[in-house]
Structure 1
């Protein structure tokens, strides 16, 4: 099961990571998880952003969950990136078959005036450094998606010193985190959320939308029946034409 996690900072120190996961209601451990209701100042913008990123509705009986106590313990808009990706995962399946936690930090905004689009904004530089150091010292997790605007030359040097690879969203599609030995920090441009969606997620999993499958089958059946109907009419007309033509020839022969 994929977990989207977000690092937290208190008093300029790493305070732990919160957890978001998208899964079927019947498969979640309710002793450990609860339906996620993150304390975000711009929750309405997050909902608008996910509607623009998701091409299909969420799967029936799926929801985003958070670890019990996380929401009460931590707040702040920098958890929005992880929450957004978990919401997208309700409709789209990740391309990677991994079980490690995937780290995210960054707030989500809407830009564009009349034609709104989701935008990934940076986090406070001092907090970002704490989060990055916490990720680099983590023994199990290997991939961290961060706002490109936060990756200053000093932060890039910090990654290099810790033998971590800094890559763009375009390059991450060619890397398998499960087989890659180094830690990976992925720089995400503010306007690259649509590209990130296409990089991380597969095409909509149609097999898990029963109503959609039924509709596709029905439309296919209608097309097949319509084709058969018109084919039979054309065949009958052709037969009738040949029959009439043959009768006319016989009639002409009788006249002579």
Structure 2
């Protein structure tokens, strides 16, 4: 049988505690998303974090759609201690560089139709203009700032790197004197992530039914979650060697 042994996610979802400037909007919400049905996004997990700058433990939900339903079919939960969190040694909380972490699971999670692994991306592929999926449980309404019980998702288009770089540099006050190739972003649209979905997946659905994770939600350019802004993700392919070394 095949088991899940570790997770990777962006570090901001673990360590952010209000110290980063407002223009780095740590993603919390899926705007203009739709409810996900069970089994639709089996690689998604929910990290329940009662956070300060010092993390004692995390509760991770696997196979969940409704995170309030402890009796939900297919849902499994696991407590993870701080010692199992591997932080990238060169993480920069101000520029949000190397915005990635690994979580070693203290127990094995069995794969089934509700819980499935995702593939790592091709290191030589940019995924420009490909259609992807983003998902999460963050706030979904900019007016009420309310959060859903049900997992939200929407389809997105991956923005070519140079086009995104030019757009990012237009925003006054954003520290974009350089835009690292370790970032990947989405073409601006009415749907977007915003404060709190950090670590969530930017996924490509493959023809064989598998999923490839190409990005991890990192930050946005505004703290008001305005539409038609590019969302910035950690480019997973830039960290394949680091992931291998820390498995």
TM range (shorter): under 0.3
Higher percent of residues as helix: 1
Which protein is bigger by CA-based radius of gyration? 1
Higher percent of residues as strand: 2
Bigger relative contact order, structure 1 or 2 (CA pairs below 8 A, ≥6 apart): 2
TM-score calculated relative to the size of structure 2:
0.24
TM-score calculated relative to the size of structure 1:
0.23
